Every structure is written in structure tokens, then in C-alpha cells.
Structure 1
Amino acid sequence: MNEQLALAVRGRTDDLVALTTDLIRFPTVNPPGEAYTPCAEYIGRRLARSGFAIRYVRGEGAPGDSDRYPRTNVIARREGRAPGVTVHFNSHIDVVEAGDGWSVDPFAGKVRDGRVYGRGACDMKGGLAASIVAAEAFMAVYPDFPGAIEISGTADEESGGFGGVAYLAREGFFSKPRVDHVIIPEPLNKDRICLGHRGVWWAEIETHGAIAHGAMPFLGDSAIRHMGAVLHAFEEELFPALDRKETRMPVVPEGARRSTLNLNSVHGGQTEDFFPGLPAPNVADSCRLVLDRRFLIEENIAEVKGEVISILEKLKRERPKFDYAIRDLMEVLPLMTERDAPVPSAIAAGIREVFGKEPEYVISPGTYDQKHISRIGHLHDCVAYGPGILDLAHQPDEWVGIEDMVQSATVMAMSLDVLLRGARAPG
């Protein structure tokens, strides 16, 4: 155990808690992208006091970016005293909406019973705070370190990351020679290393019909009924087929080791939001379904799409007047970093020191910003590691454990020691 680093992190526990609560108090809800700029500037001021050079980069032109809701990202860099590699900690600052069911104010950052509560506590402001404290502790113990440390707070991960990491990757912020190693402090549990994620295909299916008076529906053609036929075919054919597909990837939780399909939303008819009036008395001439298909490394994206299209084409042949359109919204291929790459090896060394056990290697059921670092930045030495329990993300009364943050920050600091100074774990 590197006692100096462990004590340096432990001695910053109160600061770590205060930093986490401060970050939670910025209601960076996405959509629409509230409070990005003040949150990014808070992070920038904090890291500037620790000697980091600060840049703010707006993801101009990205989905959702506007003067009212600018996609503001902060990138901080601290150069060492000698040449060397660069280690980058990347965290997203956006959170999902709070929703109902909370017993505490979701944006108060309440501390209770060894936990910090609030929207984003787990996903992932606790991880962001841990990475900042880890870097500061490391620099205090080893002020003459070689190479460089970067820390970023980025926008829009919860909606695909296009105004955040994707934009920055296109601008060269996540590519060599600027950056060599990336750690993303997503909440995958403090003794786990997340090597990658499943693939995702989002698409919108629209069924077509013909408008008519609702009192004489036989004169029209209901697009909603056509969508009902699509849903019935999915239930009878697609869902059972997906449930039979399993992966060799160590995806958590267990249920995500199969292919899955979520029906995100269905919208049909001419008047969807009629409060306080009444709906229009019309036959629906359009119905739209958004689907979220998560797929495995063993599956081909063309086959994934083909399974859905074949059902739609069969309905077109067999169901009178059935017609449809389909539109891709997003696609991301599965990815998995090798566990013996430098970053997972360094984190594994830290986990062995802090917890006295071998790490568990996992794959995330959903995508996160590693996809952009790998596909756009062509930087593959990247994993997710951070405090927090994945199942708490996006839930009411979301929380992160204080001791979990301290221990994860210690692992991160020791990982910096391995990657920048070439330290080796004892034994």
C-alpha cells in the first residue's frame, strides 16, 4: 500500500464531500441542458487554484446547443516537471431529471448516514469529485511528477454525448499525442473495472394511415391500429428471439447479458397534448414508435436492423394498407478494452492495494462516452472506473457513499502513480 497517497486522499475527505455536494447543487438537468456553464466554471475555478490551465469549449451546433442552453465543457490540464504521458479523467456534468419519489431535495446535496444524496450523486458527480481529489492528492505527494494530468467536465452524456465528448474528440482533445490514457469515473462499483459497453441502435418507426371522422372510422385507416400490429409481432416474434441471445461479455447486471429491446415511446393521432381541451375526433393518420435496441458484441448491426425490418416487411405483405417508414436516430457498436491494457492494469493494481482482492471486470449494459473516445478519437486505452452503485443511477434518492468515494479516489491516485511514475504494486 502506498501509505502517503492513501493518507493524502483520506485527509481530504471533508473536502471531497463538500465538493460533491457543491456539484449536486448545480441542477444540470438534460434535457434541456440547464446550468452547464456555471457548473463548468465552478470546476474550472477549483482546478485553477490547483495549478491547472483551464479551457472552456462550447459544443457549437450540437443537438440542443443554443444561446440559452450552451453545451459548455471544461478541460483542465496540469503539466508535470518532465516529459511523459498524459492521463485524462473525464466526467459528464449533466444529470437526468429528478422525477418523483424523493424523500430529500434532489438538488440539496444532503449528507446523511455516510452518504451524499442528490440527483447525480452516483451518476456521476461523486466520481468527478473523486477524480479531482485524487489528482490533487497525487500532485501534493509527488509535485515533480512527469507527464500531464487532465480533468474534464463535459456535457450531454445522458443524451448521447454529442455536445460533449463527441464534439471534443472531433477537435482532437481525446487523441494522441495530446492524451494517452483515459479514465471515466462512471458508477460501476469501487472494486470493478468496466472495459466497455453493449451496442445500441435507436430508431423511429412510423406507421401511416388515412385521416377520417372519428364517428366514421371505416372511412379512414388507423395508423395506431397498424402500430398495434407491429407491437403484437414484436411480442410474438422479436422479444422471444432476443431473449435467446447471450454474450461472452461480462455484462452487469445478469439480465443484460442477453439482447434487449425497450420501447421508449409511442405517439399517435393529430392531438397528443389536448389538456385542458378535448382530443380531435379524427382517425390517426400517423403513429410513431421510438425503439431502443441493445445488442451484443457477437451481433452484427446489419442483422440487428434486419430483424426489425423483416417484421415490418412481412406486415406490409400480409396486412391490408399497412405502410411504414423507419429512421435511424443513433447507432453505437459494442466495444471492450483488453484487460491487460495500461489503464485497466493500473487501476487493477490500485484495487489490489486498497481492497486486497482482484478486481471484477465488467461491461456496462448501456453506453457511455467511451464510445466517442474510441471511435472518434481512436484512443482505445480507456475504461470506466468510479464510486457508486450502478443500480442507483437515475433513481429517486440517488446517493453515493462517502467511504466509497474515498477508496475510489485512492485507487485513482495510485493509478496515476503507475501510469505517470511507473510505480509497481508490491508483491
Structure 2
Amino acid sequence: MVNNLVDFTDYFQSEELIEILQGLITEKSENPISTEESVAYYVRKLLVDNGIEANLHWAADGRPNVFAELKGGSGGPTLLYNGHLDVVPAGEGWESDPFEGVIRGGKLYGRGSADMKSGVAAMIYSAIVLKRMGNPFEGKLILFFTVDEERENLGMRHFLKENVSADYAIISEPTELNICIAHKGVARYRLRTKGTPQHAAKVKESDNNAITNMAIFIAALENLNKEIKKIKDPILENASLTVTQIKGGIAINVVPSLCEIEIDRRLLDGETEEVVMKQIENVLQNIAKINNIDYELENYLFLPATNISRDHLLVENLEEVVRELYKKDAKVDVFGATCEAPFLSVYKGIPTVICGPGSLEQAHIVDEYVEVQQVIDASNIFISLVLKILQSN
């Protein structure tokens, strides 16, 4: 180790870290095919076996968040390390078993290897190494691994009800170890139009077709998207509205009685749930009135944008750690997707950075992989950050 960093090489074994990651991948947690229960028990056992207090907090049946605490000296701040335990379904077409964690050419393959069991493994191992060192820091390190990030955020919604807070937080989503200080928010809507079912041979000009009605709405929403894209943010660039899914009709010769689309609205800093919903409703109401269309609009997800100042102490400390470890400057960037950071940064008021091993380009694809060296580097960074930022005030 170099410069001001504590030397922990005697406590760190790369092979042990990679075995932990392979164990995480072996414990299937495909959402929604299965739950995260087995991988949560695996994580708790790992921590407890290494002398770290860990507990399961149940967000739903079979769906436990994992909490663990590593306490140093009194008087210091609290740092929270977070990641999610669920993965998307593996699907077909893999070159090797997606739940083995096979290593080829310096890459570890498996569902969740990038998104994001490698980040979870690196955080787990950082706590194990720090424990072996005798917790040589002030304050407290919290490990919090959550369920259901890939779908409905049940784990984080349960977390909001708990009396847990921190001074700083890191989410180890795949950023290729870039320090991501912001990401767009997302709102998701289901829009349904109705029609009058009948035989397609009996259609008249005035008949009510749910798909035709939806087409009118889609055209109006695309015009709204053009206006929304004019909304700019110096860091996050532009907002957007995209129709991403459509379904309707029951047979080729039946006029459809129902059509449904999914709408994905990407959000900039400061855009609120009420204002964004009203923006869409105003367009739909005007079109519905002109064309006599019956519809329903459901908002089932709203996660605001998140950001942290470029010169925040947490960001500066992370940059210093990377510089001291690897003699190079870290890239400070924007996260290219939406994650659970707003639950921490917006709803809990915890300054939060996204930084972890793996590439977002690997998320959710066949033959997903993570560079083995990035996992090792991530754990080194997480250990060093604790030793740097958790000092007495």
C-alpha cells in the first residue's frame, strides 16, 4: 500500500474474494422466478462466520434484506455500503452454466456477475478484512443488501420504515469503478384504452376500437416527448418520455376491447411526482375530450433523480483513494441507468455515490461477465475508503 493508506495486504486474499463472488452467483436469486432467501442466508453466514454481527430484515415472505454492522471507535461518522441481491432471469443461450461463476480469460461469467453480485462480494470482503484488522477506524460501517431492486423495490421500501441512517453511502452498481455522482430518475405509467368488442366483419366508421384509440394517444405522447426533451440539466442532459410496450386484442377477427401501453419517463433533478403526472394527464384529457376516448392512467413507479456535489467530502475521499492506490485519477461520471440511490439520497438524506466493479453494458445480457481484477480493485477501494473517511470528527 502507498502514501497515506494503511497496509492491509496481509489480510487480503484475492482467491477468497472470488470464491465469495462465485458462491453468491451459485445461490440463485432470479427475480421474479425465485426469491433472494438462499443468497441472503449465504451472506449472513459468511459475515457471522467471520465475527460480524448480521441480521435478516424481512420485506416480504422469502425476501430478507441483510443488515450488518462493523463498529470502530466512538465519535466517528457512519458509512453505509449497499447493493442488491436479486438478479434478472438468466434466460437461454449461455456458453456455460450461468450459475457456476466460471472464469475464462480473466473474466468471471454468471448471472449477476456485473449486476451486481461482484459489488456485493467486494463490500462483504472489505468488511471481513477490516474485521481481521481489528476494526482500525472510528465510527461505524453498515452493510445493507436489499431485495427486489430489479422490479418493485420491496427491500428499499421496507428500509424506509426503519430507523437507520448514515453520513455517507456507496452503492456498488456496475460503473467500471468510475465515481458516479448523479443519475436520472424514472417514472413509469400504464395507460389503458377501451373499445367495444365485435366481429371484425361488422366494423363501421363510428365503431370504438381500443387499439385505434391508443394510436391517437401515442401520437400525442410523442409530441409531448419532443417538448420534454427540451428540458435540460447541465449534468443529466435531457428528460424524455418513451412508449416502451404495447399489448391489445384477443384475435385477428375481433375488434379489441382493451389496449395497454407502458410509458417510461426519465426525470431530471427537481421534477416532482405531481408535476410530471399532471403533465401527462393534461395531454390525455385534451385528446380524450376531442375524440371521446375512455382511458385509465396508472403511475406505478416514481424514483426521483439523484445527485451529489462534485466537491463533496465523500467524492473527494474516493478520488484520493483511487489516486493513492493506483497512481491515476478516477473518472467522475453520471450513472447511465436508474438505481436505488434516491431511496438513500432523497428519502433518507444520505449523501450517496454509485461506484462498483463491472460494466453496465454487461447488465441483463447472455454471458454476463465481470473482470476479475475489477472485483479485486473494488474491494481494495472499499477497504481504503473506510480507513480514510471513518475518522473521528
TM-score after normalising by structure 2: 0.91
Residue aligning to 1:166: 157
Contact 1:5–1:141 at 8 Å: present in 2 too? no
Structure 1 residue 248 corresponds to structure 2 residue 234: yes
Residue aligning to 1:381: 351
Distance 1:267 1:196 in 2: 34
Superposed, which structure 2 residues align to 1:102-121 within 5 Å? 102-121=94-113
Distance 2:272 2:145 in 1: 33
Structure 1 residue 286 corresponds to structure 2 residue 277: no
Structure 2 residue identity aligned to 1:165: M
Contact 1:36–1:155 at 8 Å: present in 2 too? yes
In the TM superposition, what is the alpha-carbon distance from 1:357 to its structure 2 partner? Answer: 2.9
Distance 1:422 1:347 in 2: 18
Distance 2:272 2:140 in 1: 39
Residue aligning to 1:225: 212
Percentage of matched positions with identical amino acids: 27
Distance 1:100 1:304 in 2: 38
Contact 1:223–1:286 at 8 Å: present in 2 too? yes
Per the alignment, do residues 228 and 101 of structure 1 end up closer, same or farther by CA in structure 2, a change over 3 Å counting?
farther
Structure 1 residue 405 corresponds to structure 2 residue 375: yes
Residue aligning to 1:260: 240
Residue aligning to 2:37: 37
In the TM superposition, what is the alpha-carbon distance from 1:387 to its structure 2 partner? Answer: 0.8
Per the alignment, do residues 217 and 8 of structure 1 end up closer, same or farther by CA in structure 2, a change over 3 Å counting?
farther
Distance 2:231 2:8 in 1: 44
Structure 1 residue identity aligned to 2:25: I
Residue aligning to 2:284: 312
Structure 2 residue identity aligned to 1:167: H
In the TM superposition, what is the alpha-carbon distance from 1:203 to its structure 2 partner? Answer: 1.0
Distance 1:147 1:298 in 2: 33
In the TM superposition, what is the alpha-carbon distance from 1:306 to its structure 2 partner? Answer: 4.2
Contact 1:5–1:137 at 8 Å: present in 2 too? no
Equivalent position to 2:189, from 203, 207, 219:
203
Structure 2 residue identity aligned to 1:20: L
Contact 1:195–1:338 at 8 Å: present in 2 too? yes
In the TM superposition, what is the alpha-carbon distance from 1:388 to its structure 2 partner? Answer: 1.0
In the TM superposition, what is the alpha-carbon distance from 1:231 to its structure 2 partner? Answer: 2.0
In the TM superposition, what is the alpha-carbon distance from 1:198 to its structure 2 partner? Answer: 0.9
Structure 1 residue 7 corresponds to structure 2 residue 6: no
Per the alignment, do residues 16 and 262 of structure 1 end up closer, same or farther by CA in structure 2, a change over 3 Å counting?
farther
SS of 1:366's equivalent in the other structure is coil
In the TM superposition, what is the alpha-carbon distance from 1:83 to its structure 2 partner? Answer: 4.5
Per the alignment, do residues 375 and 259 of structure 1 end up closer, same or farther by CA in structure 2, a change over 3 Å counting?
closer
Per the alignment, do residues 82 and 233 of structure 1 end up closer, same or farther by CA in structure 2, a change over 3 Å counting?
closer
In the TM superposition, what is the alpha-carbon distance from 1:317 to its structure 2 partner? Answer: 3.6
1:315-346 per-residue CA deviation (whole Å, 9 max, x = no partner) reads 22433x32222121111221211233332222
1:98-143 per-residue CA deviation (whole Å, 9 max, x = no partner) reads 2344322222211111111111100110001111222222333454
Residue aligning to 1:129: 121
In the TM superposition, what is the alpha-carbon distance from 1:201 to its structure 2 partner? Answer: 1.2
Distance 1:6 1:229 in 2: 63
Equivalent position to 1:181, from 155, 168, 174:
168
Residue aligning to 1:51: 51
Structure 1 residue identity aligned to 2:9: L
Superposed, which structure 2 residues align to 1:308-387 within 5 Å? 308-319=280-291, 321-376=292-347, 378-387=348-357
Structure 1 residue 148 corresponds to structure 2 residue 156: no
Contact 1:8–1:141 at 8 Å: present in 2 too? no
Distance 1:301 1:40 in 2: 33
SS of 1:28's equivalent in the other structure is coil
Aligned-residue RMSD, C-alpha: 2.4
SS of 1:16's equivalent in the other structure is helix
Equivalent position to 1:234, from 221, 230, 235:
221
Structure 2 residue identity aligned to 1:288: E
Q: Tell which deviates more after alignment, 106-115 or 364-373.
A: 364-373
Per the alignment, do residues 8 and 395 of structure 1 end up closer, same or farther by CA in structure 2, a change over 3 Å counting?
farther
SS of 2:150's equivalent in the other structure is helix
1:213-242 per-residue CA deviation (whole Å, 9 max, x = no partner) reads 23313384110111122223334x134334
Q: Tell which deviates more after alignment, 42-51 or 327-336.
A: 327-336
Structure 1 gaps of 5+ residues are 61-65, 252-256, 272-278
In the TM superposition, what is the alpha-carbon distance from 1:197 to its structure 2 partner? Answer: 1.9
TM-score after normalising by structure 1: 0.84
Hey, which bits of structure 1, 4+ residues long, moved more than 4 A?
Answer: 298-303
Per the alignment, do residues 5 and 384 of structure 1 end up closer, same or farther by CA in structure 2, a change over 3 Å counting?
farther
Distance 2:78 2:356 in 1: 19
Equivalent position to 1:99, from 80, 85, 91:
91
Contact 2:244–2:264 at 8 Å: present in 1 too? yes
